Structure 1
Amino acid sequence: MDQRNGVKAFLGTGWKFPVEIDGATGRIKMSSNEDSIRESVRIIIGTRPGELPMHPEFGCRIRDYTFESADYTTLYSMKTEVEHALIRWEPRITDIQAEVSDEQIDQGLLMIYVSYVIRSTNSQYNLVYPFYINEGE
C-alpha cells in the first residue's frame, strides 16, 4: 500500500451525516477522508452527553449553556467545552482551537468557529457551528 492510500485509510469512511440515500444506487451515501472528519466534529459538538445509550459520555456539554447569559465567562466556558470534547473524541485531529462569537446574539445565535489540523496530512481546516442559545424558540 502506498503512502497516499495509507493516509486515506486512516482518515476513514462512514455513513454521511445526516444520513442520505443515493438516488442513483439506492444505497446510503458515504462520507470519506476530510469530509468524514468534518462531519465527526459536527456530530461531537451537536451530541449531548447521555444521548447515546451505549456511549453515555460521548458528546459536548455546550447545551448546558442554553438559556445562559452570553457573557465572557459563558463564552469562554463554551469554547473550553468544545475544545475538550474534540480532543477527547476525535483522535484524527490536533491543534484544536475554538472561538465563540456573540455578534448575532440579537437573533439568539452564537457562532462557534473551530479550527483543527488533520494529523495524517498536516492540513488545516475550519468550520462554523451555529449555536442557538434560546433553543426551542
Structure 2
Amino acid sequence: MNNIDKSFLGTGWNFPPTFRREWYGVEMASGDDAVRNSLEIIVATITGERIMLPNYGCNLQPHVFDPMNVPTVAMIQKVVNDALVYNEPRIIVNSVVATPNEAEGRLDINVDYTIITTNTRYNYVFPFYMQEATNVAH
C-alpha cells in the first residue's frame, strides 16, 4: 500500500515552514502529509487573513473566550466542517467532533476525513484553547 504514487495529492512547504542550511532549501511535504498540513493551516487561519483568498480559513479566534457549552461546541463543529468542505477539495469530511477539556481550557476538535483519490481514512485533532494561558494558581 505504501508503494502507491501519491504525487497527485501535491507537494508544498511543510508546516510550520522549516529552512535547512545543509541544502539551502525548505522542507517540503507531499502526499498524505501535504493534506494534513493543509487541514492544520485551514483551521488555524482566521477568515479574511489572506487578502487574495478572503473566504479561506476557519474563523475560530472570536470564540477563544466563549463558554464551553453545548451551543458553542456545536457552532465550532459546524464552522470547522464548513471551512474544510469549502477549502480542501482533496478530502471528504466524515465527521467533526469537538470534545471539551475544561480542566485545561481546551476544546479538542477531532476531524475524521477520507482522502478522495486513495479512499484512505485519517483522523486529525486540533487543540483549540478557549481560555487565556496563565501561570496564576487558582
The TM-score with structure 2 as length reference comes to: 0.88
SS of 1:14 mapped into structure 2: strand
Q: Measure how far apart 1:9 and its partner are.
A: 2.9
Q: Measure how far apart 1:96 and its partner are.
A: 3.1
Paired with 1:76 and 1:27, the residues of 2 have a C-alpha distance of 42
Q: Partner letter of residue 128 of structure 1?
A: V
Residue 46 of structure 1 contacts residue 60 of structure 1 at CA under 8 Å; is this kept in 2? yes
Whether 2:9 is the aligned partner of 1:11: answer: yes
Q: Which runs of 5+ in 2 are unaligned?
A: none
Q: Measure how far apart 1:135 and its partner are.
A: 4.5
Give 1:105's aligned residue: 102
Residue 81 of structure 2 contacts residue 93 of structure 2 at CA under 8 Å; is this kept in 1? no
Paired with 1:45 and 1:107, the residues of 2 have a C-alpha distance of 20
Higher helix share: 1
* Matched ranges for 1:89-104 at <5 A: 89-102=87-100, 104=101
* Matched ranges for 1:21-100 at <5 A: 21-100=19-98
Paired with 1:51 and 1:135, the residues of 2 have a C-alpha distance of 22
Q: Measure how far apart 1:130 and its partner are.
A: 0.4
Paired with 1:59 and 1:34, the residues of 2 have a C-alpha distance of 20
Q: Partner letter of residue 40 of structure 2?
A: R
Q: Which runs of 5+ in 1 are unaligned?
A: none
Count, aligned residues: 131
Q: Which moved more, 1:21-30 or 1:35-44?
A: 21-30
Equivalent pairs: percent with the same residue?
Answer: 36
Q: Measure how far apart 1:91 and its partner are.
A: 0.2
Higher strand share: 2
